[in-house]
Amino acid sequence: MDFALANTLVAALSVAITAEDAAGKWVQLTPAGKFLARNGGPYDTGDQASMKKIIETTRQFAGSTDLVVDYDHQAITAPSVGGRAPAAGWIKELEARPEGIFGRVEWTEAAASAIKAGEYRYISPVFLHEKTTGRVLLIRMAGLTNTPALDMMQVAASALVPNNHTTGDNMDKILSALGLAKGTNEDGVVAAINSYLTSSTAIAKAAGLTETAKPDEILSAVNSLVTDRAKFAKAAGLAETAKADEIVTAVNSAVAGARPDPTKFVPIEQVTALQNDVKELRKSLTEDKAEEAVNSAIKEGKLAPALKEWGLDLYKTDAKKFETFTGSAPVLTAPQLRTPKKGEAGEELSEAQLAVCSQLGIKPEDMKKNLAERAKA
C-alpha cells in the first residue's frame, strides 16, 4: 500500500449541511465509488465492503480519540503559526451506506448556532489516499467551511502529513516515533505506518481482542499478558524477563519432576480396591465368628436352637452383648432345647425363653409370635 504522503489532500468536496443537521444527525462525508474534488481526483471509496474497510482503518488510526470537525481546517493550519483551533464538533460514529460514508457529528453549541444562522454551510473531509489510484485509505478529520478553495486545501494537506522535503525537529520527532533513522524518505515512512497498522491488528487478535480494538485496550491487554508471564516465569524459578519457550521448558521439567515415586505412593484406585477387600474380609470373619459363637451357645444349652438366627444377628451387631447374654443365661433342659417341628408353635414359653425376654426387654407375646412365625417358616 502506497500512502501518498506528499500529495495527501483535504478534499474540496463540498457537502451541504442544513439547520436540521445542527441537532447532531448523520452527515455525509464522502460519496460512494469514484468522485472528483475541486483540487484533484478522481478519488475512489469503492463499494460497501471497501467503505467499511476505510472506516476500520480510520478507527485504528484514530485510536481512542474522536475525529475532530474544526472551523476552516484550523486544526491543520493554526498550530504552525501559533493560533487556536477550537472544535466545531466531534465525529462520534462512522457508517458505510450505499450512497457513501456518513458520520454522526455532535456539534458544539457555538457551531450549532452558526449552522442554524446560516453562517456555515459545508463540511469538507480530510482523507488519505493512494497516489496512483486515488483510492481513499482513511478519513483524518473534517472542517466546517464555506470556501473549500484549492490553494487553502493544498496548504492544509502539506501541514497534515510531512512530505519527503520536510525537515527540522517535527520530522525528526515523527521518524523517531516510528523508530526510523533521520533522513528516511517517504517510502520508509509509508512502510512503517503500514507495519504499525498490520502489527496493531495482529497484536489485538493475539491478545484476544477484536481487530478494531483501540490502542488503549490493546495496551491494557498486553500489559496484563506481560504481568501474567512474569508471574509464570517467577513461579518457574526464572527471571521475569525470561522468554516464553524458556518458561514452557521450565514448567514441563517441573511437571516431570513432580511425578510421584511408585515406591512411596499408590494410585487411589488401588487404595480403594484394597479398602473394599479388607471390608469384605472383616465381614466374612465376623460371620464366621458369629456362626461359631452361636453354635457353641446352642451346644452348651445357653441358647435355644429356635433362636439361632436371632443370636447370629445379635452377635454381628454387638458381640459383647451376645457374650453377656449367653454368659448369664441358664442352661436349658432337653425339652427347651428341642426345635419345634413344622406347624408346632407352643402355647407357653419356657423358663429359658422367659429369661431371654426379661434380659432383652422383649415382651413374651412378641417372643411367642416370633417363635410361631419361625415354626411356620
pLDDT one digit per residue (tens) for the chain, 377 residues:
334 343 444 444 556 666 565 556 788 888 899 887 766 778 899 999 999 999 999 999 888 889 999 998 888 766 654 567 899 999 999 999 999 999 999 999 999 898 888 898 888 888 888 878 889 899 988 888 886 532 333 333 333 343 444 445 656 766 776 677 877 766 676 666 666 666 666 666 776 777 666 666 776 776 776 677 777 777 778 887 777 777 778 767 766 665 566 666 667 777 787 778 777 777 777 888 888 888 888 888 878 887 888 888 888 888 888 888 888 777 766 555 555 554 444 557 777 777 778 777 888 888 888 888 877 76
State the cell numbers at 376: 411356620
pLDDT reported for residue 376: 75
CB burial readout 327-360, b (16+ within 10 A) else e: eebeebeeebbeeeeeeeeeeebbebbebbbeee
Domain ranges of the chain: 15-161, 164-246, 268-376
Q: How far apart are CA 303 and CA 308, in angstroms?
A: 8
Does the model's pTM come out above 0.95? no
pLDDT reported for residue 32: 92
DSSP state of 208: T
Q: DSSP string of 72-138? A: TTHHHHGGGGT----EEEEEEEEEEETTEEEEEEEE-HHHHHHHHTTS--EEEEEEEEBTTT-BEEE
Distances (CA, A) of 64 to 128, 216, 219, 308, 311: 19, 7, 12, 90, 87
pLDDT reported for residue 157: 35
Q: How far apart are CA 10 and CA 143, in angstroms?
A: 9
Q: Which residue has the cell 465368628?
A: 289
Geometric angle at alpha carbon 179, from 178 and 184, rounded to 5°: 80
**Contact indicator for 15, 27 with CB cutoff of 8 Å:** yes
User: Which residue type is seen at 306?
Assistant: A
pLDDT reported for residue 25: 77
pLDDT reported for residue 348: 73
pLDDT reported for residue 57: 93
